[in-house]
Structure 1
Amino acid sequence: MARVPQIVAFGGGGFSMEAGNPLLDDYVLGLTGVERPKVCFVPTASGDADHYVVRFYRTFASRADCSHVSLFRRDKGAGAVEGDLQAHLLDQDLIYVGGGSVLSLLGAWRAHGVDQMLRRAWRKGVVLCGLSAGSLCWFSESVTAFHGPPQRVRGLGLLPWSNCVHYDGEPERSVEYRQMVGDGMLPGWGVDDGAAIRFEGRELAEAVASRPKAKAHRVELVNDEVVEVPVPTRYLGAPLPEPAAVPA
Structure 2
Amino acid sequence: MPAEQPTILATSGGLRRGHRTDLEFAPLLTYAVDLAGVEGRRPKLCHIGTALGDQRGFNATFAEAGEVAGVEVVHLNLFPMPPTADLLDYVLSCDVVWVGGGSVANLLAVWRVHGLDSVLREAWLRGVVLTGVSAGSLCWHVGGPTDSFGPELRIVTDGLGFLPYGNGVHFDSEAARRPAVLGAVANGVIPDTYCTDDGTGLLYRGIEPVEAVSERKNAGVYLVRREDEGSAVEHALDVRRL
TM-score normalised over the length of structure 1: 0.88
Aligned-residue RMSD, C-alpha: 1.7
Alignment-derived partner of residue 15 in structure 1: 15
Shift of 1:151: 0.9
Deviates more, 1:49-58 or 1:200-209: 49-58
Change (3 A) 1:16 1:86: farther
What's the % identity of the aligned pairs? Answer: 38
Q: Does the 8 Å CA contact 2:17/2:24 hold for their aligned counterparts?
A: no
Letter in 2 for 1:131: V
Whether 1:194 aligns to 2:199 is: yes
Whether 1:149 aligns to 2:152 is: yes
Deviates more, 1:56-65 or 1:192-201: 56-65
Shift of 1:50: 1.7
Whether 1:48 aligns to 2:51 is: no
Shift of 1:17: 7.1
Q: 1:168 aligns with which of 172, 177, 182?
A: 172
Deviates more, 1:88-97 or 1:58-67: 58-67
Alignment-derived partner of residue 28 in structure 1: 32
Shift of 1:223: 2.7
Shift of 1:145: 1.8
Whether 1:217 aligns to 2:222 is: yes
Rg larger in structure: 1
Change (3 A) 1:2 1:219: closer
Deviates more, 1:56-65 or 1:180-189: 56-65
CA distance in structure 1 between the partners assigned to 2:33 and 2:62 by the alignment: 13
Whether 1:233 aligns to 2:212 is: no
Shift of 1:61: 2.3
Change (3 A) 1:21 1:90: closer
Change (3 A) 1:181 1:88: same
Shift of 1:16: 5.7
Aligned length: 230
Q: Unmatched 5+ residue regions in structure 2? A: none
Shift of 1:20: 5.9
Deviates more, 1:84-93 or 1:165-174: 84-93
Q: Does the 8 Å CA contact 2:141/2:166 hold for their aligned counterparts?
A: yes
Deviates more, 1:36-45 or 1:19-28: 19-28
Deviates more, 1:157-166 or 1:141-150: 141-150
Q: Unmatched 5+ residue regions in structure 1? A: 237-248
Whether 1:59 aligns to 2:65 is: yes
Deviates more, 1:17-26 or 1:188-197: 17-26
Whether 1:94 aligns to 2:96 is: yes
Q: Does the 8 Å CA contact 2:104/2:138 hold for their aligned counterparts?
A: yes
Letter in 2 for 1:160: P
Q: 1:139 aligns with which of 135, 141, 146?
A: 141
CA distance in structure 2 between the partners assigned to 1:230 and 1:134 by the alignment: 22
Q: Does the 8 Å CA contact 1:21/1:210 hold for their aligned counterparts?
A: no
Change (3 A) 1:38 1:120: same
CA distance in structure 1 between the partners assigned to 2:164 and 2:53 by the alignment: 27
TM-score normalised over the length of structure 2: 0.90
Alignment-derived partner of residue 5 in structure 1: 6
Q: Secondary structure at the match of 1:120?
A: helix
What is the CA deviation profile of residues 124-179 of structure 1, one whole-angstrom value per residue up to 9, with x for unaligned ones?
Answer: 01000000000000001221123221111120000000001000010112111101
CA distance in structure 1 between the partners assigned to 2:87 and 2:118 by the alignment: 12
Following TM superposition, the consecutive aligned residue runs of length 4 or more in structure 1 with deviations greater than 6 angstroms are: none
Shift of 1:26: 1.3
